[in-house]
Amino acid sequence: MAATAPFPAGATLADVGEFELIGALTRHFEQGEQVLVGPGDDAAVLRVRTGHVVVSTDLMVEGRHFRREWSSAEDVGHRAAAQNLSDINAMGGRATSLTIGLAAPADLEAQWALDFARGFADECALVGASVVGGDLTRADQVVVAVTVLGACTVSPVLRSGARPGEVLALHGRQGWAAGGLAVLGRGFRSPRVLVEAYRRPAPPYAAGLVAAEAGATSMIDVSDGLLAEAGHLAAASGVAIDVRRGAFEVPEPLHAVGAALGADPLSFVLSGGDDHALLATFDPAAVPDGWAVIGEVLEPADGAAPAVTVDGAPYDGPTGWTHF
């Protein structure tokens, strides 16, 4: 249920005005101890402790990354925060602060923006991160631009450290959001568990630091597809990666969607994104609890470029999402 709004029911952004809306939005964002100056000045001021500062930026565009008829404003807020918090997680760090740029049509109800802010703030609270500023402007559709800052207390885990002889491991649910998107794209709303997984990801926020401390040699979050992300690790590290089909336990809801749509349920796992699971490489003896080994790191074939195979052969399906 939507929280009580400071504006009349049905009031649009044009009715409310920029600065009244900004004032209402910022009341959703509690400030952590790392924030010296939060929203309201020309820039935020943050306390930086020892370690490495890590920064990432992501965009969400209405009609491209989400549809308002498929997801509530709170859902969009959760997703926008999750995809950014997950990027810091994939470096072995913890997100501390975020800024939001929100562009929206003048006739968008102000309550939508407030609900978005609440969902965003609730997701950030899962890791103790604060929204410290942002910007608001008019556009023909909703566009969300988020920058996240975080800290690594150990050396950041890059994509480029995988070596032959290591294993590829996965932490977090994978393929659920892709199944939910396939269901929504056909005009259905069930299995509900998959639809909700698409609307609100559940990244394994605690797993990134655990992996870094255990000696992960490379890591990435699965935002655009498991095989596509494994390909990024392979290319950055100059290795080959082989993924094993038999390593995955495909959940029953994905079997149901696959049967209904005439699709291989494993394809959602191999090529799906938006769950923001973590993919990492480890020495075989150093894989932490909770991580499932799904493949191996190999030397590239003679004269061949780094590549990803499935059970030793090229994969003939889509490997993930592409933006262009």
Does 134 carry a binding-site annotation?
yes
Does 58 carry a binding-site annotation?
yes
Burial of 255 (0-12, 13-18, 19+ CB in 10 A): middle
Judge contact between 94 and 127, C-beta under 8 A: yes
Judge contact between 270 and 310, C-beta under 8 A: yes
Does 264 carry a binding-site annotation?
no
Does 289 carry a binding-site annotation?
no
Least Cα distance to 158 among 55, 273, 239, 237 occurs for 237
Does 70 carry a binding-site annotation?
no
Does 155 carry a binding-site annotation?
no
Does 107 carry a binding-site annotation?
no
Does 321 carry a binding-site annotation?
yes
Does 65 carry a binding-site annotation?
yes
Handedness of CA 9, 10, 11, 13 (dihedral sign): positive
Radius of gyration of the chain (CA): 21
Does 56 carry a binding-site annotation?
yes
Burial of 323 (0-12, 13-18, 19+ CB in 10 A): exposed
For residue 78, the tally of other CB atoms under 10 A from its CB is 25
Stretch (H or E) spanning 16: helix 13-16
Task: Give the residues across from 148 on adjacent strands.
Answer: 56, 98
Does 160 carry a binding-site annotation?
no
Does 159 carry a binding-site annotation?
yes
Least Cα distance to 300 among 221, 212, 241 occurs for 241
Per the annotation, binding residues for substrate are 65, 274, 321
Residue positions in the annotated binding site for Mg(2+)? 42, 56-58, 87, 135, 221, 224
Binding positions are 42, 56-58, 65, 87, 134-135, 159, 221, 223-224, 274, 321
Known binding residues for ATP are 134-135, 159, 223
